[in-house]
Structure 1
Amino acid sequence: MEADQSRLLFLLFLFAWRLSPEVAAEVQESSDGSVASQKPMWLTDVPATMEFIAVAEVAVIGFFQDLEIPAVSLFHSMVQKFQDVSFGISTDSEVLAHYNITGNTISLFRLVDNKKLDLESKYIESIDANKLSRFIEINSLHLVTEYNPATVIGLFNSMIQIHLLLMMNKASPEYEESMSRYQKAAKLFQGKILFVLVDSGVEANGKVISFFKLKKSQLPALAIYRTVDEEWDTLPMAEVSVEHVQNFCDGFLKGKRLRENHESEEKTPKVEL
C-alpha cells in the first residue's frame, strides 16, 4: 500500500494538472490534420478479431448487442479524433462470448502491456462524447507514448513498473531519426519497460527534467524510473542510438546505476544552452 501511495504521489507531482481544452484538442488531433472519412472495421469472427487486436498498438472495439443505442454513433465519431488508434465493431455472438462480453461493451486493447480495459453496459448507457474520448485518451499507450496530462493516467495504471523517459526537443533537427531509433529499442523491451517521450520544448515539462536533476544543457537524456521502489537513474547522451538505450536499460535491470557519477559531475559548473 505504501509503495502504491508513493507511486501515485510521484506521478501526481510530475503530471497532475488539469487537461485544458487546448491540450485536449491537441491530443485528439491526428498527426497530419486529416479529417478524411474513416470507419471502424467490422469483425465477423473470432480469428479476424484476434488478428485485428494483434497487429494494432492500440485497438478499440465496440462489442454491441444492439446497434440502435446512442453509444454506437458516438463510437463512430471517435474514429476521426484518434487516427493512431484502430477501431473495430463486432455483433457476432461467438466473438462476444470469446471476450466474455455479456452486454454492450467498448474495450480497449494495448499491445505494449497486453492489457484489456472495458467500458461496460452500465457506463455505456450514460456515456457521452467527452467521457468516451477521455477513456480513449487516458488509456492509449503505444510502444512510445508521448507524455501529456492524459496519458500519465494510463501509464500509472499499466502493469509495467519500469518507465523509460526520453527527454528531447521535438523541434530539434535530430528528432525524427532519434525517435526512429528509440522506437526500435522499445520493441526490444516490450512488456518489460514503458517507453515515454517528454518534449523538452514544452515549458510545462520542465518539472520532469528538474525532478530527475537534469538541465536542458544535458539533453537529450534518458531517465528510467521503477515505480515499486522509486529507484531511478539518468543518462545524458550526445546521440540517441538503439545501442545506448539498450545498454542503459539492461544495466538498470541488472541493478547498475550511473547516477552517483552524474551527481559528482554536477559539481563542475556547466554552461546553460
Structure 2
Amino acid sequence: MNAEATVVLITGCSTGLGRELALTALAKGLRVIATARRPETLEALKEKGAKTLQLDVTASPDKLNAFATEAISVFGQVDTLINNAGFLQGGAVEENTPEENLAQFDTNFFGVVNVTSAFLPHFRERRQGTIVNISSQASGLCAPGAGIYCASKAAVEAISDTWARELAGFSIRAISIQLGAFRTSVAESGNLKIAARRIESDVYRGAHDWVVGFNARAGKERGDTRIAAERLVDLVACDPKRALPMRLALGDDAYETMTSFHTKQLEDLEAWKAVTTGTDVV
C-alpha cells in the first residue's frame, strides 16, 4: 500500500454503492477506511486491504468526534470523506409518522452534517479535504410515495452547496452527487422502509404503487454500480486540486431527470416573471 496515497473514508459500506466505492478505491491504490453500523459486514473489504471501523452516522456529536479522531489515527489523515449511508422512507407524506420523518432526516441529512462537522477541524488544519455527499435524482423527481426521502436529499444538496462556498477559502471541496437508479440494495427491504400507517384513498394509489414498483425493480435498475463507482472515485479522489461542480448528476436517467427538472423551473420563472419581478422599493 502506497503510504502517500489518498485516504478515502466511506460511510455505509456494507452493501451497494458504498461497498463498490471501497473496492474501486482499493483497486486504484488508494487507502480506504470503510465503515458500517455492523462492522461484521465489512470482512470482505478488510480482506481486500481496507481498514474497517464501526460507525452509526446518527450517533451523538461527541461519539462522532471520537470516531473522527480514531479514523484519522489509522493513516494519520483523511483526505476524502464520502457520505454515502442512507435509506429510503416510503409512503405518502401524510402517512409517515413524525418519528419516521425524524429517522429519515437523522440518517440522510443530520448524519451527513454531523459526520462532516467531526472531520472539518482536520480538513481546516490541513487546508485541504474533499466532502462528497451522495444525494439522488429524487431531489428533482419529488416522487409521490417518497416525499420525505426526496426532501432529505434536497436538503443534502443545499447544505453541500453551502459548504462548497463556505469552505473554499480553506481549500476544502464539497460536491453532491445526484445519483440515478443503480443496481444497489437501496430498494431491498433493509434499506426501504414503508410508512407504519396506510391511508386507503384513490388519490394515494399512485404513491402506494410507486413504493411497490420501486421494490419490484430491485436488481433491475438501469445503472451499473461499478461504472458509477469508477467515475466517482476518479472525479473526487484521484486529483485533490481538481475543480469540482457543486452538484453532479450521475447516471443516464439522472441526467434526464435533472434536465427536465431545471428546464421546468426556468419555464415557470419566465411564465410568471410579471408576478415575480417589480417588487423593489422605489
TM-score (norm 1): 0.25
Q: Please state which structure has a larger fraction of its residues in helix.
A: 2
TM-score (norm 2): 0.24
Q: Could you say which structure has the greater relative contact order, defined with CA pairs below 8 angstroms and 6 or more residues apart? A: 2
Q: Please state which structure has a larger fraction of its residues in strand.
A: 1
